[in-house]
Chains A and B, each alone.
Chain A
């Protein structure tokens, strides 16, 4: 008994992610749910820190570092080859950031979903290219500072979730590093889906969003509570909000505690708030209808 039978974490301790990293938390929970029969892929991104450097790796499961734009295509090939070999008890997971998903990785992702390949795509969204040092991505929100939007982003966040929903995917969900039980349940659900799964997790980044590392979970919760990042899942087209918010909190509360929004304009905050309110009402109406 003792150490030998103890369940070892599938990501080792001492990973060199930034202090307060939500991506690492999401990676740990993902493997905790899926278990050792998992092949995981990471693109060159923050999650590549777990994949490691030289002879060191953080994974206790088979892992492959993809290119930035083709992680889903590698997943397609891996899944089909596993099926050819009759290995049907292995999860294939893409663990990619927002840039590798909504920007450069979109084509491969869309293709693999259209081909209905069974794989779990987890997008950890820290709303910029953080690993290269905080550059704007399509997922960066309106008004946010990055090193390539020094005066704040003038455009809205790309709605990748709506895009992928429109493709028709058997299981799609949003999640937040602030509500881990909700995320855990969604990964649990993803295990049994016979087809592509897309889970988009908001993972606040202390380094890039400019907040104290201890606030990661609070900020992730605030995104949900303000309606900026509603939590829901869509199972075979039917939508369910997985965390109801009675009264949406003011967006000002959310932007005020992050340095990246220090030069956001009042009308941009109003626009974010209006958008959040509208989205939440639409989701409620759709859930009602279902």
Chain B
């Protein structure tokens, strides 16, 4: 039987890790992720994660390196990080995915410096978006737990690492009611770990990760691309299967009331919940507002997004990252997904909620209002709108 508990997002992730049963965990403390690895360290110390070892490394760079090493000899592994810690890992992020290691790493999203911020935006994980990992974004604490389990299953099916992103503080430190699955049910969904073909084993010596020529690099990267394509094909099925075990199905996107909508709010992470509430209230007042939450940002479910949005009149994409020099990455993806349609909805890109600023229902109502106004003029805005910037404080 599942247990109902009051957990914050970090502890929910830790419960997911306990249930998934990695054998090696390596981590370095960084706000707002630290409670995840503190809790996991407790589980290892008190025997709740039998046979597992915790490596308290001296940096995030070494955290990811150590779990790569452990995965290379055939064990299930876990690590977690945030913000600048993820940026420090960057070089090894590519090693993990390029060697097709099914690592699960939680990222409690935190704005990258500078200026320093302890709080959420997606600038950290977005900086890693093209590194060949699967990136799943949790809306709430329940999803944070569930996506650990779904993440391991998907990672091990396609031999790719998974970055599980949860908004710093808004999810990581917010306490909610969470259903913690039964261990037996988890075992039925997530089988025991099977080492992959890329393995350091003296009985079958392989040289791994050596220098490659222009004659083979492209093909290796193409196989990597194919694995992400495969992940996108598989995710809906695994998400359904998750639902049959635990009663909560998952899909790469969650689209509601999009067909014929005057405005669809597209977002990632915790703001998706706020968007749904804003849309609900506006629909009650007679406005046609839909929502689209992207759970899988990598691989990006282009076709599903196109299908969901094709009959909307206008789309407002909210990026919780800077997109400096261009526009937010979510907006770029949505526009690209719609491009091949003969008749496209109007799309306006918004930047909001940076460095921990609340992406409130007021902000999202303003997004809807602005998009409606543009729609009434039959147009969208070409440049991104920084909707929550304090006009009086910038020159």
B66 in the interface, Cβ–Cβ < 8 Å?
yes
A171 in the interface, Cβ–Cβ < 8 Å?
no
Contact bitstring A52-81, B, C-beta under 8 A = 1, else 0: 111101011111111101101111111011
Indicate if the CB atoms of A83 and B53 lie closer than 8 Å. yes
* Contact partners of B200 in chain A: CB under 8 A: 39, 62-64, 78
| Highest count of chain B CB atoms <10 Å: which of A44, A64, A75 | A64
Contact bitstring B202-246, A, C-beta under 8 A = 1, else 0: 101111111111011000000000000000000000000000000
Indicate if the CB atoms of B202 and A48 lie closer than 8 Å. no
Please report the C-alpha to C-alpha distance between residue A108 and residue B213 in the assembled complex, in whole angstroms.
29
B73 in the interface, Cβ–Cβ < 8 Å?
yes
> Nearest-CB distance from A57 to chain B (Å)?
4
B68 in the interface, Cβ–Cβ < 8 Å?
yes
* Contact partners of A36 in chain B: CB under 8 A: 202, 205
Indicate if the CB atoms of A67 and B95 lie closer than 8 Å. yes
Indicate if the CB atoms of A53 and B210 lie closer than 8 Å. yes
Q: Which of A38, A55, A69 sits near B61, CB closer than 8 Å? A: A69
Indicate if the CB atoms of A107 and B58 lie closer than 8 Å. yes
> Nearest-CB distance from A14 to chain B (Å)?
16
* Contact partners of A61 in chain B: CB under 8 A: 202, 205
Indicate if the CB atoms of B26 and A77 lie closer than 8 Å. yes
Q: Do A74 and B207 form a contact, CB below 8 Å, given A36-B202, A85-B73?
A: no
Q: Which of A76-94 contact B (CB under 8 A)?
A: 76-78, 80-85, 87, 90
Task: Name the interface size band of chain B.
Answer: 35 or more
B6 in the interface, Cβ–Cβ < 8 Å?
no
> Nearest-CB distance from B156 to chain A (Å)?
16
Please report the C-alpha to C-alpha distance between residue A192 and residue B210 in the assembled complex, in whole angstroms.
30
* Contact partners of B24 in chain A: CB under 8 A: 77, 80-81, 84
> Nearest-CB distance from B231 to chain A (Å)?
24
Indicate if the CB atoms of B205 and A78 lie closer than 8 Å. no
Indicate if the CB atoms of B74 and A53 lie closer than 8 Å. no
B294 in the interface, Cβ–Cβ < 8 Å?
no
Interface residues of B (CB under 8 A from A): 23-24, 26, 51-53, 55-59, 61-63, 65-75, 77, 91-92, 95, 200-202, 204-213, 215-216
The 5 A-B residue pairs whose C-beta atoms are closest, nearest first, are A77-B69, A111-B58, A77-B66, A73-B62, A73-B65
Interface residues of A (CB under 8 A from B): 36-39, 44, 48, 51-55, 57, 59-67, 69-70, 72-78, 80-85, 87, 90, 107-108, 110-111, 114-115
